[in-house]
Amino acid sequence: MSNIIQLRPERIHTEIRDKALPGFLYQLDRNTPEALENSDYFQQSGGLIAAYRLSVDAGIIERIDTTAQCIKGFVWDNDLLSSCMQQDLKIRNQSWFSRHCNRLTLLESGLQGPEINVLDHQPVLNVSPYFKMQWHTEAFASQLGCIQLVEASRRLQFENGESLDLLDTESAESSSVLYLMNSSDKLAVKPVCDFQQLGIDQQVNFTTAITQTIPVQLGDKTIVSLTVLEKYSCYFMQNAAPNDPEQHIWTPVHLPITWGWSIRVQQRFDGVWDIFRKKLILPASSTELPPLPVWQGNSLRNNQGI
């Protein structure tokens, strides 16, 4: 996260204080006593960003312009804000503070598959991660969504010894790209459940399918195997008003969850495609702080096609 100043102030455990709501737009004033007396005041705004712009092609963070007379910024992590800045935000946006926070608790996770199915006479390799969670909107009404980034390599091996990369994300600037299922998939953030009103506590289940068609022939070349190496990062995000991007942005509500698979499929002597090697990395929460996910490109754009 080189484009965000991450300065973590001392956490206060003895007192529950009102905190700025993540994802909301706040205003700061350069002329406050704290700003005038403390030259590092605006360097303590690690939890504020100017904008977070999402599309299927890129996730981009814009830094705060500290030279502006009137500074506005979105809170993405209120624990990164200094106490002075918290107070400054509160003076100007009293109603957008809460002693509570929205909570997403992971109850269970796992992988279904991998397996090979035949659809319209075409073999298809698939695996489905699933998540069972408890979603409590104690601070504000919010939409729960998921962003999936992937680092991937998918390679075909031909009978004549040649190979072809179907998908390779190493050329991406951020190495990870947004995972998209097909060309009709236009959402960077996938809704996990309906918009949830304030004070609701419910269990939600989220499952997504990762699929790969296994071609048996490419031109005059016979395909003998497909190798898949992938690592996924699932970011569960929240947004108080997804249809109002000028006032609200998506922010993490849980540590990133990573999972992956290494697998090779090939034809048996009877012509049936089967799994000959597999290694699964089961979904697990990252131990790092949940930064805002950034990417350049998506899995469809990085797909070499067949």
What tens-digit pLDDT sequence spans the chain (306 residues)? 333 333 333 333 334 477 889 999 988 766 665 665 665 655 555 788 999 999 999 999 998 887 777 788 899 988 888 777 777 777 667 678 888 899 999 999 999 989 998 887 888 999 999 999 999 999 999 999 999 999 988 888 888 888 888 878 877 666 789 999 888 888 999 999 999 999 999 999 999 889 888 888 887 888 888 999 999 999 999 999 999 999 999 999 999 999 999 999 998 888 888 999 999 999 999 877 668 999 999 988 766 554
Residue that terminates a domain, selected from 69, 98, 127: 98
Q: What is the pLDDT of residue 2?
A: 34
**Residue at 2 is within a domain:** no
If asked whether residues 212 and 244 sit together in one domain, one would say yes
Structural domain contains residue 150: yes
Do 154 and 53 share a structural domain?
no
What is the number of structural domains in the chain?
Answer: 2
Contact 261, 230 (CB under 8 A): yes
Q: What is the rounded distance in angstroms from the CA atom of residue 266 to the CA atom of residue 28?
A: 60
**Which pLDDT value is given to residue 12?**
35
Same domain for 67 and 199? no
Radius of gyration of the chain (CA): 23
**Residue 283 belongs to what domain range?**
103-296
Last residue of a domain, one of 73, 98, 123: 98
242 and 273, same domain (yes or no): yes
Residue 260 lies in a domain: yes
Both 74 and 120 in one domain: the answer is no
Q: How far is it, in rounded angstroms, from Cα 84 to Cα 77?
A: 15
Q: What is the pLDDT of residue 289?
A: 66
Within a domain: residue 305?
Answer: no
- Residue written as tokens 């910024």? 73
pTM of the predicted model, to two decimals? 0.86
Claim to verify: residue 161 and residue 37 sit in the same structural domain: no
In this structure, are 79 and 182 located in the same domain?
Answer: no
Q: Report pLDDT for 169.
A: 81
Going by the DSSP 8-state scheme, the letter that residue 45 receives in this structure is B
Q: Are residues 81 and 163 in the same domain?
A: no
The residue out of 98, 124, 159 marking a domain boundary is 98
37 contacts: CB under 8 Å, gap ≥ 6: none
DSSP for 214-230 reads: --SEETTEEEEEEEEEE
**Are residue 156 and residue 65 in the same domain, yes or no?**
no
Alpha helices in the chain (DSSP H): 33-37, 83-92
